[in-house]
Amino acid sequence: MDRVSLDLARLRASLPDWRVDVVEQTGSTNADLIARAGAGEDVAGAVLLAEYQSAGRGRHGRSWSAPAHSQISMSVGVDTRGVPPDAWGWLPLLTGLAVAHPVRALGVDAGLKWPNDVLVGDRKLAGILAEVAAPVIVVGLGLNVSLTADELPDPRAVSLSMLGHDVDRTALTVSLLGALFERVAQWHAGHISALSADYRSISTTIGTRVRAILPGGSEIVGPATGIDSSGQLLIDHSGTTVTVSAGDITHLRAAKS
């Protein structure tokens, strides 16, 4: 079981495209990077990893925490300059790709649930949260590495060790950030069609019948047919294609046929 500290020197040597820092403990790496941006720092290209987060953040203000050294918990500042705002919704999706493919290379059958979860079967392996601090978007990631069943922040979650994979967190972090750099480069170049094809190939949402629960309790139900150029989900609702953004929904769940 990997519960040793991240190797900062190795991370920095292996990731010259990122400015990497590691802290032993903080409330939220996303909040820290956003605060640094608010204080006038250009955090584009900055990576902040925490060995322990006491107030990790998810969508809709949900909080979580996990034992020290048991996750990859990090936030990354991504420069949006040159990317049209209507394409910013792709950033959490391409981050999912950057997580899923290195994990799949370990032999884990990871898939992507729109908009921000990496799943193995129906259990959550990693979550992603993107927050705007223009001209930067701060993307947070929590990947369960060595948590045991009784340590999970949510009983519906899973970890790599529970799946039989005891990994070097430093090496996996290098793989994730290397993949993220490549995906962000595609995004900056406007290669949305390539990202979309790759996303579709491992999506657990596209092609399934879903229920999108909106604020106030109303619902959109039907087959998810694709992702548009803005990263929004397309749902066939009673014969009409409805476009749903991540910010529009409270929950996305499987729907009975």
Give the pLDDT confidence score for residue 3 in this predicted structure.
86
**pLDDT(61) > 70:** no
pLDDT at 43 over 60: yes
Query: Residue 56 pLDDT > 80, yes or no?
Result: no
Question: Does residue 223 have a cis peptide bond before it, meaning omega lies within 30 degrees of 0?
Answer: no
> Mean of the pLDDT values across residues 89-108?
97
Give bridge partners of residue 82 from the DSSP assignment. Answer: none
Global pTM value: 0.93
The answer to whether the beta carbons of residues 176 and 17 sit under 8 Å apart is no
CA atoms within 13 A of residue 201's CA, in its CB half-sphere: 11
Q: Give the separation between CA 196 and CA 226, rounded to whole angstroms.
A: 9
The architecture in CATH of the region 209-254 reads: Roll (2.30)
Domains of the chain by residue range: 8-202, 209-254
For domain 8-202, give the fold. Answer: BirA Bifunctional Protein; domain 2 (3.30.930)
Give residue 149's pLDDT: 94
Q: What per-residue confidence (pLDDT) applies to 112?
A: 97
Res. 153: pLDDT tops 90: no
**Residue found under tokens 């491992």:** 202
